[in-house]
């Protein structure tokens, strides 16, 4: 997003010039956390002790603010940047605030999408650490996932006492990298000593059920219970085999024990930020960890968190999965929009976005309007944040304000990218005023008792504007088996393209009366939701023709360059 603003400095230049405080100082000054309750990872990162977190359980909760966005475009929306800027803005107006973000995956960092540490003067730091290995959480999640995969194949090799049907093994290996060559593989080649050859698959780490469990578990015991309930495959009689049947869940918990502690870092303005867990919202549930969010609510008056991609994905899963399961009650939703993205949804090409086009803004605002109306269906007050770009004109901004006024919501222009928290003060005041004025009536979109198939259809029809959903007989039979097998009360996690309300990434705006095809259904017994894979969405992305990795390097001074 840096080249769309007037500041000549790149995100990494700004981050590397930041005046950071030692993380123990941030913890003590901002949150009253003693250094003994931190486990430092260098000077500027630390994990929070689980014993300390447990000591907070009787403290009252602050107010939870969700930041989401319109449907993303190549023009950029800046959801994470807005989350950071709003958090800094709230702190500037005297509101004790913590932001809660997801950890970036290496796949997008070296691929096409980029990192997830914000941008401009609304960033979390140390930015390069956060976008790369950070505190090793993703490594732990990947290893725990692959330990279970190894134990599954090892069990079969040594006699298969549980009677696993090799044709019905559903547990996949993972790696935190975009690698299309690993989507479909054959393993155990080489002879008898290497096992029995079978078709297998890799997912990216953020799509792993272990990642989802990591982010939904409330404590170590809950983490271990959920890991034990992972279904790895089925017998020939179609009976499920669980990770606990292999006695794998204890060792998996050991691998995740340290990673499970939330990570504390800071913004450019030295305000506290928890960054913990990182499922994608297009192929997973797209929210940071429950543990980090609940801890932040005990330590601050306001907590600002984001959910991945547009509100049809991350926000829906935040509200229908995370809040339902964790007992969270968000007070408000902030929907991020840019004039540029609105114009792209209105049919303007990226090359022509700098030219004023009020009609395209009007046409593209159909997308924003649907997201706003969808969030109201969850009982949430809404504020629209117009993330300012230098080429925006007053006529275009006024058109968005007028459209939002007709929807009954405020649209606030915010220049946090260029001016940090100072640029987001007006947005911060509007959010606080809306929370004080309108109480939240949050409720999930559907109830637990609704059948699984009908849950997917409800989301598709109510939020996507779809006519309905379709699937072949095999998939519908799987829905029935899961429903009859005792999983019917689970929420659904819909995996689909992030670029459209439909399953066609090229269908912009607010399409209606389309049909959502369900290609595959997966059970996540430990995460306690059912995944419906729709359209052509992949749970192992590929790299673009020119990956970002080709521009990333270390210079002669030992500094990382090319990372945004």
Which residue ranges are tagged as binding site for ATP? 73-80
Q: Token pair for residue 54?
A: 């447990």
Measure the CA–CA gap between 287 and 310, rounded to whole angstroms.
12
CB 385 within 8 A of CB 86: yes
309 catalytic per annotation: yes
81 catalytic per annotation: yes
| HSE-up of residue 382 (Cα within 13 Å, Cβ side) | 28
453 catalytic per annotation: no
Selecting among 138, 202, 260, 309, the annotated active-site residue is 309
Q: Longest Cα pair distance anywhere in the chain, in angstroms?
A: 72
Backbone angles phi, psi at 47, to 5 degrees: -100, 150
Report which secondary-structure segment, H or E, holds 195.
none
> Long-range contacts of range 477-482, CB-CB < 8 Å, 24 or more positions apart?
478/521, 479/452, 479/453, 479/521, 481/238, 482/452, 482/521, 482/523, 482/530
Q: At what angle do helices 220-228 and 249-256 cross, to 10 degrees?
A: 140
102 catalytic per annotation: yes
Selecting among 9, 21, 22, 113, the annotated active-site residue is 113
Selecting among 214, 242, 260, 389, the annotated active-site residue is 389
Only one residue has tokens 């732990």, namely: 140
Only one residue has tokens 């993303």, namely: 72
Measure the CA–CA gap between 191 and 221, rounded to whole angstroms.
40
Measure the CA–CA gap between 264 and 99, rounded to whole angstroms.
10
214 catalytic per annotation: no
Q: Token pair for residue 309?
A: 């991609």
CB 551 within 8 A of CB 562: yes
User: Reduced to 3 states, what is the DSSP secondary structure of residue 229?
Assistant: coil
Q: Which residues are annotated as a binding site?
A: 73-80
**Contacts of residue 458, Cβ cutoff 8 Å, sequence gap at least 6:** 445, 446, 450
Selecting among 18, 47, 68, 81, the annotated active-site residue is 81
Q: Tell me how crowded residue 450 is: count the other CB atoms within 10 A of its CB.
A: 17
Only one residue has tokens 């095999």, namely: 474
Task: Please report which residue ranges of 158-219 form alpha helices under DSSP H.
Answer: 209-216
The rounded Cα 552 to chain-centroid distance in angstroms is: 24
Selecting among 45, 47, 63, 102, the annotated active-site residue is 102
Task: Please report which residue ranges of 300-347 form alpha helices under DSSP H.
Answer: 316-317, 323-326, 339-345
158 catalytic per annotation: no
DSSP labels for 351-389? Answer: GGTTS--HHHHHHHHHHHHHHHHHHHTTT--EEEEEE--
Q: Calculate the alpha carbon distances from 152 to 54, 239, 242 in Å.
A: 34, 16, 10
User: Reduced to 3 states, what is the DSSP secondary structure of residue 421?
Assistant: helix
113 catalytic per annotation: yes
Selecting among 260, 417, 501, 564, the annotated active-site residue is 417
Selecting among 79, 92, 388, 508, the annotated active-site residue is 79
Instruction: State the DSSP code for 220.
Output: H
The rounded Cα 486 to chain-centroid distance in angstroms is: 28
79 catalytic per annotation: yes
- The residues carrying an active-site annotation are 79, 81, 102, 113, 281, 309, 389, 417
């Amino acid at each position: 997003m840096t080249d769309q603003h007037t500041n000549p400095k790149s995100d990494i230049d700004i981050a590397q010039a930041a005046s950071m405080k030692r993380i123990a100082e941030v913890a003590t000054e901002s949150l009253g956390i003693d250094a003994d309750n931190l486990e430092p990872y260098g000077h500027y990162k630390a994990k929070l002790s689980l014993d300390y977190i447990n000591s907070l359980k009787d403290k009252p909760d602050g107010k939870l603010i969700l930041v989401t966005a319109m449907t993303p475009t190549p023009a950029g929306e800046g959801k994470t940047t807005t989350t950071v800027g709003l958090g800094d803005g709230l702190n500037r107006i005297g509101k004790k605030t913590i932001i809660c973000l997801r950890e970036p995956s290496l796949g997008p960092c070296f691929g096409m999408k980029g990192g997830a540490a914000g941008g401009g003067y609304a960033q979390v730091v140390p930015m390069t650490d956060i976008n790369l290995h950070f505190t090793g959480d993703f490594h732990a999640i990947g290893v725990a996932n692959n330990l279970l995969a190894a134990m599954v194949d090892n069990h079969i090799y040594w006699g298969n006492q549980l009677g696993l049907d090799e044709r019905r093994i559903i547990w996949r290996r993972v790696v935190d990298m975009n690698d299309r060559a690993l989507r479909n593989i054959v393993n155990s080649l080489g002879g008898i000593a290497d096992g029995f050859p079978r078709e297998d698959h890799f997912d990216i780490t953020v799509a792993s059920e272990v990642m989802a469990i990591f982010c939904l578990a409330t404590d170590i015991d809950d983490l271990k219970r959920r890991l034990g309930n992972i279904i790895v495959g089925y017998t020939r009689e179609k009976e499920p085999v669980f990770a606990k049947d292999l006695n794998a869940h204890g060792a998996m918990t050991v691998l995740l024990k340290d990673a499970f502690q939330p990570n504390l870092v800071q913004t450019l303005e030295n305000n506290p930020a928890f960054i913990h867990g990182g499922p994608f919202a297009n192929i997973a549930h797209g929210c940071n960890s429950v543990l980090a969010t609940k801890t932040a609510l005990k330590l601050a008056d306001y907590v600002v968190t984001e959910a991945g991609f547009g509100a049809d994905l991350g926000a829906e899963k935040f509200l229908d999965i995370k809040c339902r399961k964790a007992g969270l009650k968000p007070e408000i939703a902030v929907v991020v929009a840019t004039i540029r993205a609105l114009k792209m949804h209105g049919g303007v090409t990226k090359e022509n976005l700098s030219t004023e086009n009020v009609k395209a803004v009007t046409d593209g605002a159909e997308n924003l309007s649907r997201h706003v109306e969808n969030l109201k269906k969850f009982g949430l007050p809404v504020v629209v944040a117009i993330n300012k770009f230098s080429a925006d004109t007053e006529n275009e901004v006024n058109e968005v304000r007028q459209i939002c006024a007709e929807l009954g919501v405020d649209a606030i222009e915010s220049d946090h990218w260029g001016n940090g928290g100072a640029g987001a003060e007006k947005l911060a005041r509007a959010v606080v005023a809306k929370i004080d004025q309108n109480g939240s009536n949050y409720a999930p979109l559907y109830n637990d008792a609704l059948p699984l198939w009908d849950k997917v259809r409800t989301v598709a029809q109510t939020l996507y504007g779809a006519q309905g959903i379709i699937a072949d007989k095999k998939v519908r039979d799987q829905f029935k088996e899961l429903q009859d097998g005792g999983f019917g009360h689970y929420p659904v996690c819909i995996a689909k393209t992030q670029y459209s309300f439909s399953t066609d990434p090229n269908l912009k705006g607010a399409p209606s009366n389309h049909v959502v095809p369900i290609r595959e259904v997966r059970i996540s017994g430990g995460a306690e939701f059912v995944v419906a894979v729709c359209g052509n969405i992949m749970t192992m992305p590929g790299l673009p023709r020119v990956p970002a990795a080709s521009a990333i390097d270390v210079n002669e001074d030992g500094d990382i360059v090319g990372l945004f």
